[in-house]
């Protein structure tokens, strides 16, 4: 394509600009409507340019942090309730929080396909979408009557036995569940869903008929837990219970990450730790966190603060829906105190739920999560948050809520951003590798 009389310098510049153009296209200028390819779905932050759920007026840095913190409170109470096996009603927060959890992917439901932007949630098995006739859902719903492949699941079916507290409406299997601060009533249904280019025929999901509260993701949920009726269980042959994601940073909202389903094209060069299974809480991904290093020092954390206990649900889970990592009180206090000690005499301030913030420029130590078989040293962006103006820096972790009997450490998504996290369920292992999500 090079014109015949181009000066070599011009040619070089031309080549360079093509290079930049294609780099830029490959990296950040992917449009919001770029279709998902193969078995890989683009992942957007709910505040992303591509998200219909982004705030109408952009939030200030401080507002976003405080909003994410209060959403986290509801999420942590919900996770605690899963662990405790009983429902915990979240404490009402001062602000109406309407978005939960943090990352969304595009799925296509029915024939012809209807596109929905559903929340990705590794701590839940179920998939559900708002359906026509729903009371309390938003304006974007799945119109089941327009799909030629849609059907309601009968009361007598095997799947109906797998949902919590099923009941019969006519002959249709229906169920109620709580999600965060919300309750949902849904019919159990089946239809084809498409994940990127992969059709999943007869996928069983909840078709929401009634929703209360504000924790329900507006266009539905894709549960990536591993219990019965989960997507993983239903796509055993297709994806072999293997997936990975790279979550983009909430600081670069024009970027998308990716959710890669199945064992193909997963990274080979990746460190692993064991995934633990709690038979009582089959959907959660427990890992064996054995210690935390601040700088080179292994912080003195009482062993019982980290120990896995299937009976009480204690231990550490990795979760895609919580934003800031929470450690049970003795673990958090130990990490925080060591971190503060390393900061010398710098004056500590707080921001919302963060109690270790600095308003002066500081040199921070490294932070390393020690899992069995794998140490993960976090880049600073994974454990510090800085205000846009650069005037405040906080350790982006907190202690687990103490108003419930809290035994759970949660490795949250800020700590996972710009890493590839590989869930290899058949081999009971979790892989972690640094990657810039694009
Ligand atoms: C859900 O079940 C109810 C009760 O059988 C039925 O009236 C309703 O049409 C169903 N909703 C959908 C979207 O199929
Ligand atoms: C489920 O919720 C619906 C609507 O709120 C209610 O009418 C129904 O009784 C509930 N069913 C069960 C089994 O709790
Ligand atoms: C899906 O369900 C329909 C109707 O129940 C059945 O005819 C079809 O074989 C099923 N397809 C697959 C791939 O299981
Ligand atoms: C993100 O993209 C929007 C629209 O394309 C643009 O206006 C904005 O400046 C970009 N923001 C960043 C941080 O790159
Ligand atoms: C992790 O770090 C600790 C403490 O520095 C070290 O003893 C251990 O061997 C490391 N583990 C791995 C798997 O590298």
Give the ligand 4 atom nearest the CA of 254: 1
Report, as an integer, the average pLDDT of 345-369.
88
Distance between CA atoms of residues 270 and 263, nearest Å: 14
Q: Are 211 and 130 in contact (CB under 8 A)?
A: yes
Q: What does the angle CA 209 – CA 176 – CA 138 come to, to the nearest 5 degrees?
A: 35
Which range has highest mean pLDDT (188-197, 350-359, 386-395)?
Answer: 188-197
Tell me: pLDDT of 344 over 80: yes
pLDDT computed for residue 245 by the predictor = 96
Does the pLDDT value for residue 26 go beyond 60?
A: no
Neighbours of 172 (CB within 10 A): 17
Topology, domain 267-438: Cathepsin D, subunit A; domain 1 (2.40.70)
Bigger pLDDT: 77 or 363? Answer: 363
Spatial contact of 398 and 414, defined as CB atoms under 8 Å apart: no
- Who wins on pLDDT, 130 or 400? 130
In the predicted structure, residue 9 carries a pLDDT above the cut 70? no
State the distance from the centre of ligand 1 to the C-alpha of 208, rounded, in angstroms: 9
* Token output for 161: 């036995």
Q: Which of 95 and 170 is assigned the larger pLDDT?
A: 170
Please say if the pLDDT value at position 124 is more than 70: yes
298 lines ligand 5 (CB under 6 A): yes
- Probe residue for ligand 2, chosen from 167, 185, 188 as the CB with the greatest number of ligand atoms within 8 Å: 185
Mean pLDDT to the nearest integer, 207-234: 91
Split at pLDDT 50, 70, 90, the class of 405 is low
The proportion of the chain whose per-residue pLDDT surpasses 90, expressed as a percent, equals: 59
Query: Whose C-alpha lies nearest to ligand 4, atom 2?
Result: 254
Angle at 14 between CA 9 and CA 19, to 5 degrees: 125
Across the range 280-306, mean pLDDT stands at 94
Q: Whose CA is nearest to atom 14 of ligand 4?
A: 254
- The closest-lying atom of ligand 2 relative to the alpha carbon of residue 209 is 4
| Ligand 4 closest atom vs CA 252 | 13
For the segment 362-389, the average pLDDT, to the nearest whole number, is 91
- pLDDT for the residue numbered 181: 75
Q: How far apart are CA 243 and CA 331, in angstroms?
A: 30
Greater confidence, 360 or 318? 318
Question: Mean pLDDT across the stretch 117-135?
Answer: 93
What SS3 string covers the chain? CCCCCCCHHHHHHHHHHHHHHHHHHHHCCCCCCCCCECCEEEEEECCCCCCCCCCCCCCCHHHHHHHHHHHHHHHHHHHHHHHHCCCCCCCCCCCCCCCCCCEEEEEEECCCCEEEEEEEECCCCCEEEEEEEEECCCCCCECHHHCCCCEECECCCCHHHHCCCEEEECCEEEEEEEECCEEEEEEEEEEEEEECCEEEEEEEEEEEEEEECCCCCCCCEEECCCCCCCHHHHCHHHHCCEEEEECCCCCCCCCCEEEEECCCCCCCCCEEEEEECCHHHCCCCEECEEEEEECCEECCCCHHHCCCECCCCEEEEECCCCCCEEECHHHHHHHHHHHHHHCCCCCEEEECCEEEEECCCCCCCCEEEEECCEEEEECHHHCEEECCCCCCEEECEEECCCCCCCCEEEECCCCCCCEEEEEECCCCEEEEEECCCC
Res. 333: pLDDT tops 60? yes
34-53+100-264: what fold?
Answer: Cathepsin D, subunit A; domain 1 (2.40.70)
Of the listed ranges 74-78, 306-310, 376-380, 424-428, the least confidently predicted one is 74-78
Q: Could you tell me if the CB of 373 is within 6 A of ligand 3?
A: no
Q: Looking at ligand 4, which residue's alpha carbon is closest to its atom 6? A: 254
What is the pTM for the complete model shown?
Answer: 0.88
The C-alpha torsion from 341 through 407 and 74 to 186, rounded to 10°, is 150
Kind of pairing, strands 242-246 and 198-212?
Answer: unpaired
Task: Decide if 121 is catalytic.
Answer: yes
**Ligand 5 binding pocket includes 377 (Cβ within 6 Å):** no
Nearest ligand (C-alpha, residue 251):
4
Q: Please, are residues 197 and 80 in contact by the beta-carbon 8 Å criterion? A: no
Task: Among 23-37, 45-59, 334-348, 422-436, name the one with the lowest average pLDDT.
Answer: 23-37
Ligand 3 contacts CB of residue 200 (under 6 A): no
What is the pairing mode between strands 182-195 and 151-152? antiparallel
Neighbouring residues of 39: CB distance < 8 A, sequence distance ≥ 6: 195, 196, 197, 198, 239, 260, 261, 262, 264, 265
Predicted local distance difference test score (pLDDT) of residue 91: 37
Q: What percent of the chain has a predicted confidence (pLDDT) above 70?
A: 88
The residue that leads in pLDDT, 287 or 178, is 287
Q: Do domains 34-53+100-264 and 267-438 have the same CATH topology?
A: yes
Question: How far, in Å, CA of 186 to CA of 136, rounded?
Answer: 12
* Cα 330 to Cα 84: distance, rounded to the nearest angstrom: 20
Which of 314 and 14 is assigned the larger pLDDT? 314
Look at residue 368 and tell me whether its pLDDT is greater than 90.
yes
CA of 375 to the centre of ligand 5 (A): 6
Q: Is the pLDDT of residue 402 over 80?
A: no
Distance CA 379, CA 174 (A): 46
Q: Where are the domains of the chain?
A: 34-53+100-264, 267-438
**CA 84 to CA 401: how far, in whole Å?**
14
pLDDT one-digit tens code per residue, 45-61: 888 888 888 888 878 87
List the residue whose alpha carbon is closest to atom 4 of ligand 3: 202
- Residue 3, pLDDT above cutoff 60: no
Q: Tens digits of per-residue pLDDT, 195-217?
A: 999 999 999 999 999 999 877 89
Give the span between the Cα atoms of 393 and 340, in whole angstroms: 13
pLDDT at residue 171, as a whole number: 93
Token pair for 65 = 């942090």
pLDDT at residue 224 in the model? 94
Kindly report, residue by residue over 69-98, the tens digit of the pLDDT. 877 877 777 777 776 665 444 433 333 333
- Residue, of 23 and 83, whose pLDDT is higher: 83
What average pLDDT does the segment 396-403 reach?
84
| Mean pLDDT of all residues belonging to the chain | 86
Exposure b/e, 127-142, CB count within 10 A at least 16 = b: bbbbbeebebbeeebb
CA-nearest of 186, 215, 35, 51 to 108 is: 35
pLDDT at 438: 73
Query: Is 198 known to be catalytic?
Result: no
């Amino acid at each position: 394509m090079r014109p015949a009389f181009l000066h070599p310098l011009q040619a070089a510049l031309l080549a360079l600009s093509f290079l930049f153009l294609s780099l830029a296209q490959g990296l950040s200028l992917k449009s919001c409507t770029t279709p998902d390819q193969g078995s890989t779905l683009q992942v957007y932050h709910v505040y992303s340019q591509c998200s219909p759920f982004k705030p109408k007026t952009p939030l200030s840095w401080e507002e976003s942090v405080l909003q994410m913190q209060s959403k986290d409170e509801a999420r942590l109470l919900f996770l605690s309730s899963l662990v405790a096996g009983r429902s915990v009603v979240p404490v009402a927060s001062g602000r109406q929080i309407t978005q939960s959890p943090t990352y969304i992917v595009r799925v296509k439901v029915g024939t012809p396909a209807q596109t929905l932007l559903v929340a990705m949630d590794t701590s839940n098995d179920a998939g559900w979408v708002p359906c026509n006739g729903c009371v309390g859902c938003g304006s974007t719903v799945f119109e089941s009557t327009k799909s030629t492949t849609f059907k309601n699941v009968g009361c007598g079916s095997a799947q109906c036995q797998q949902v919590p507290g099923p009941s019969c409406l006519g002959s249709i299997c229906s169920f109620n569940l709580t999600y965060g601060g919300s309750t949902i009533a849904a019919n159990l249904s089946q239809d084809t869903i498409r994940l990127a280019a992969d059709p999943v025929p007869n996928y069983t999901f909840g078709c929401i008929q009634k929703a209360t509260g504000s924790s329900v993701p507006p266009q539905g949920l894709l549960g990536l837990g591993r219990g019965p009726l989960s997507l993983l269980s239903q796509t055993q042959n297709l994806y072999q219970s293997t997936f990975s994601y790279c979550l983009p940073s909430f600081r670069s909202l024009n970027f998308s990450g990716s959710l890669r389903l199945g064992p193909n094209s997963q990274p080979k060069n990746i460190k692993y730790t064991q995934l633990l299974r709690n038979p009582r809480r089959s959907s959660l991904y427990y890992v064996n966190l054995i210690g935390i290093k601040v700088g080179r020092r292994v912080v003195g954390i009482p062993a019982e603060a980290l120990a896995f206990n299937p009976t009480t649900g204690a231990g550490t889970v990795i979760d895609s829906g919580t934003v800031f990592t929470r450690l049970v009180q003795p673990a958090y206090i130990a990490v925080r105190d060591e971190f503060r000690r390393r900061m010398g005499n710098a004056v500590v301030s707080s921001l919302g739920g963060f109690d270790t913030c600095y308003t002066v420029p500081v040199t921070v130590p490294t932070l390393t999560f020690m899992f069995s078989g794998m140490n993960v040293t976090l880049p600073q962006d994974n454990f510090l948050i800085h205000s846009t103006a650069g005037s405040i820096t906080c350790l982006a972790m907190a202690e687990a809520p103490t108003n419930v009997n809290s035994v759970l450490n949660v490795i949250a998504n800020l700590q996972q951003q710009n890493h590839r996290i590989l869930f290899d369920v058949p081999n009971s292992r979790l892989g972690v590798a640094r990657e810039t999500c694009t």
